[in-house]
Chain A
Amino acid sequence: MKLSLYVRRDSPVHALPAGWKLSLLLMTGLLILFTDDARLLGAGLAIMLIGFPLARLPLSEIIHQARPLLIVLAIFYAAHAMFTSIDTGTVLTLRFAIMIACSLLLTLTTRVSDLMSVLERTLRPLAPLGLNPEKTSLVFAMTIRFIPVLAETWETVRVAQQARGMDRNPLALLIPMTVLTLRRAEQISDAIEARGVDL
């Protein structure tokens, strides 16, 4: 299972620091709200789209990620054309398209670990408010680690219930799954505390 959307390439877009890219994304989000001019927004979208060939991303990965969002966007445009006006529809669709292109570019060209450290740096000033940066990082790291573990548990439970002819009943999977997960929570927190990790 591939646990990141990052596509490794040697490109100027990849080389840009994660914090910059994130700030650019937020700034774009604000800027597009200041204009209702479809031509200006169209130009903005065109500039965004140049980023993709510049980043040397494989077309298949872009399509795989963008397709569901584009389908919704197409329906959205059609709905506007039918119920409000084509002009409003065009402006709003262009705004969404710019944001989707911009954030897709960020996701495909930036390592998860880089974005996480930007997040940690941003959250650090909040420490006096009770947000512990060490605890926060631990929770994120644990979640990523638990995903394959729980997927495996799910498969184990499914096979066990299949042997009993119960694998068609969602509750026969869900209840053992939650009980096992809660029991595992005890073991893991005991293990963390037994190692003297002081949080």
Chain B
Amino acid sequence: MTTRDLVLIALFAAITAVLGLFPALTLPITGVPVTAQTLGVMLAGSILGARRGGLALVVFLVLVAVGLPLLAGGRGGAAVFSGVTAGFLFSWPVAAFVIGWLTEKAWDRYALIHAVSINVFGGILIVYAGGIAWMVAVAGIPLDKALYGSLPFIPGDALKVIAAATAAVALKRYQQHPLGRTA
């Protein structure tokens, strides 16, 4: 890891934290906040690649765990990792890594269609798989109920996928994308 890699990891961990400052829309009925923070997961993967992207989210979650209130709504601390929805958080680094890995694989022909499919897979499918698996395995919620309860978040996530994918492709076109550098 070069100094530049370390700085990039820290910057994207910080971006994810800043995205948490946006007022979270709290869903009626379920009370679970819809946040902009999974956008940070998608950006870290799509822009930094597998290793740096995944590590950026690990750094972010460690800081949350040691007590910085970086999650949307000023939440943080070890308690958020022992709740019913903790699986979503644990899936973030994995999702960023997978998005990054696929982005690296597709790099030579990386266009909006690739960026969108990669982010749907990593940023939606993997995050929900992790979150729902945790709800079913740890919290004992029946699978269909867990799936049903997660549906209201999909539209917001679709918007985030489009935002992250467009940004990543724009960076490649303007030759600002870190993965495009032969360093």
Residues of A within 8 A of B (CB): 2-6, 25, 29, 64-66, 68-69, 71-73, 75-76, 79-80, 83-84, 88, 92, 96, 99-104, 106-108, 110, 112, 115-116, 119, 135, 138-140, 142-144, 146-147, 149-151, 154, 170-171, 174-175, 177-179, 181-186, 188-189, 192-193, 197, 199
Contact = CB atoms under 8 A, between A and B. Distances in A.
A116 B21 CA distance: 23
Contact of B11 (A6, A106, A146, A193): A146
Contacts of A149: 14
Given A103-B77, A174-B167, A178-B47, A69 B4 contact: no
Interface string B44-71: 0001000000000001101100111110
Given A154-B18, A197-B3, A65 B166 contact: no
Interface stretch (B96-104, B121-129, B135-143): B135-143
Contacts of A139: 6, 9-10, 13, 59
A140 B11 contact: no
A64 B59 CA distance: 24
Interface range for B: 35 or more
Contacts of B113: none
B171 interface: yes
Contact of A96 (B1, B43, B70, B83): B83
B140 A185 contact: no
Nearest to B47: A178
Contact of A178 (B31, B76, B140, B167): B167
Given A5-B67, A147-B18, 6 more contacts: A143-B60, A147-B17, A150-B14, A170-B159, A178-B47, A199-B3
Contacts of A112: 66-68
Interface of B: 1-4, 6-15, 17-18, 21, 30-33, 43, 47, 59-60, 62-63, 66-70, 73-85, 139-142, 145, 149, 159, 163, 166-167, 170-171, 174, 176, 178
A171 B14 contact: no
Contacts of A140: 10, 59, 62-63
A75 B77 contact: no
Given A6-B67, A103-B77, A96 B7 contact: no
Given A76-B139, A88-B140, A142 B6 contact: yes
A108 to B, nearest CB: 7
18 contacts: A65-B75, A65-B77, A68-B31, A72-B31, A88-B140, A96-B84, A101-B79, A139-B6, A139-B59, A140-B62, A144-B63, A150-B11, A175-B166, A175-B170, A182-B176, A182-B178, A183-B176, A192-B3
A3 B10 contact: no
Contacts of A154: 18
Contacts of B63: 140, 143-144
Q: Which 9 A-B pairs have the closest CB atoms?
A: A107-B77, A103-B78, A99-B82, A146-B14, A142-B10, A115-B66, A103-B79, A71-B31, A189-B4
Contacts of A193: 3
Contacts of A110: 67
